[in-house]
Structure 1
Amino acid sequence: METIFTILLIIHIIAGSIGLLTGTINIIKKKGDKTHKSVGKFFFYSMLINGFAGFIMSLIHRNDFLLIVAVFSIYMVATGQRFLSLKQLNKEQKPKAIDWILTYTMLVFAFLFITYGSYLLINKVYFGIVLLVFGVVCCLMAIKDIKVYKGNIKEKNYWLLLHIQRMVGSYIAALTAFIVVNNHFLPGIVGWLLPTVIFTPLIVKWTKQYRVQI
């Protein structure tokens, strides 16, 4: 089992490093051009591999930090990619089974994060704040997915906006993991939430910039 864990750790680190590098490139470069799309494929697959490796590692040796980041990363990058194939939901296109599975699985994890986070806070373990924040964010996004799947859409290019939001969200998860693991200066909770605080305004900016109302 330890050999498997070590192999997964190596895969996790390599994939995470590629994800951080390619994610940074795509955040800096122009959106939608050929380079963005090519680099984006590397980002997608590296983050997916990183997430699944981290998830299995968190089960072999219980690690709540790794579990949160892994679940968040998988959901964000998977739904972000899926929405590129769901451009006609406002024209009677139906989501596939994988879309519903991703969304409802995320709802289950969001409920668990919120419940366990509340339990930790009641017992004055302040890591519960992190669980609550991620749980609420994941819950809101899953609810958003369900509304979009049912045709409750307000933007013509909803799929592009959700793609941007989810991919940047996945990058936030990767950066959060990197900071938490290597943080020797900031308070723990600050390291956890700093990438979210920094990059959320960018998500808001790009959403407003690219939004096309119906």
Structure 2
Amino acid sequence: MEIFFKSLLALHIAAGAVSLLTGPASMLNRKGGKWHRLTGKVFFYAMLVVAFTAVTMASLPNHHSPFLLIIGVFSAYLVSSGYRVLHLKGLATGQKPKLLDWAIAMVMAAFALYFVGMGLKSLGNNGGVVSVVFGSIALGLVAKDVRKYTQAPTDKKFWLYDHITRMVAGNIAAYTAFLVVNNAVLPQLVAWLGPTVIGSLVISYFIKKYKRKPKAGETTKELEYFG
């Protein structure tokens, strides 16, 4: 069992390193361009490996870890929903979500309720606060999913904003895990929630950028290639 755990850990670390590099690279590359797509796909699959290995390790006897479970499940949900929304652009014009989309949302909802409940039982420590925060964020995102699956979005660019939010949030999860495991300087709560604060500012910046109406002479050509 220890050999299996160490093998999973090695794969987890390797995939995590790839995600830490390709996530920011994807954000910096021209949206919709060749390199954005390439680094984005590598980041997506690397994060799925990170999530799978995290959840598996957290489920092994003698290695149960609420930290790994939270990061693993949340990471899988973020990148999966962020990737799937690229195939759901037609929701605004009558397209219906697939069973897979509902499954991703409902599994995350169940785990989010578990995270919140677990956190409320231990609010006296940082772990409890973090569990409630991440569980609440997840519930908010799932609520958005249910809303767009049941009511046609009024903004036809909803998919772009969702894609940006989920994939940057996936980066947040990756850097949170890296800091929590390797940090020896910052307070624990800062290591846990610092990437969320910074990442939220990044999400806000990009969404405002793409919601801004082009000035005279500007084009939105890059959006035509996004997705």
TM-score greater than 0.5 by the shorter chain: yes
Deviations for 1:51-97, whole angstroms, at most 9, x for unmatched residues?
Answer: 11111001111111111110110000000010010010111111111
- Aligned match of 2:87: 85
List structure 1 segments (4+ residues) > 4 angstroms apart after TM superposition: none
Whether the 8 Å CA contact 2:94–2:152 is kept in 1: the answer is no
Equivalent position of 1:106 in the other structure: 108
The one-letter code of the counterpart of 1:170 is: G
8 Å contact from structure 1 (residues 155, 211) kept in 2? no
Task: Report the equivalent of 1:72.
Answer: 74
| Secondary structure of residue in 2 paired with 1:120 | coil
Partners of 1:191 and 1:19 in 2: how far apart? 18
| Structure 1 partner of 2:175 | 175
Give the Cα separation in 1 of the matches to 2:117 and 2:50.
26
Q: 1:150 offset after TM fit, Å?
A: 1.2
CA 1:20–1:182: 2 relative to 1, 3 Å: same
Are the equivalent residues in 1 in contact too, given 2:93–2:152 (CA < 8 A)? no
Q: What's the CA shift for 1:132? A: 0.6
CA contact (8 A) 2:91 2:152 kept: no
Amino acid in the other structure paired with 1:116: M
**Number of matched pairs:** 211
Task: State the distance in 1 between where 2:82 and 2:138 align.
Answer: 13
Question: Over the residues paired in the alignment, what is the CA RMSD in angstroms?
Answer: 1.3
Unpaired runs of 5+ residues, structure 1, are: none
Are the equivalent residues in 2 in contact too, given 1:103–1:142 (CA < 8 A)? yes
Contact 2:126 2:188 in 1 (8 A): no
Q: Which runs of 5+ in 2 are unaligned?
A: 214-227
1:13 maps to which residue?
13
1:204 paired with 2:207, answer no
Matched, 1:32 2:35: no
Rounded to whole Å, the distance in 2 between the matches of 1:53 and 1:187 is: 27
Contact 2:91-2:148 within 8 A present in 1 as well: yes
Counterpart of 1:57 in structure 2 is: 57
TM-score, normalised to structure 2, is: 0.90
1:71-150 maps to which residues of 2 (within 5 A)? 71-121=73-123, 124-150=124-150
Measure the CA separation in 1 of the matches of 2:70 and 2:21. 21
| Partners of 1:157 and 1:212 within 8 A in 2 | no
Aligned-pair identity in percent equals: 44
Contact 1:156–1:212 (8 Å) recurs in 2: no
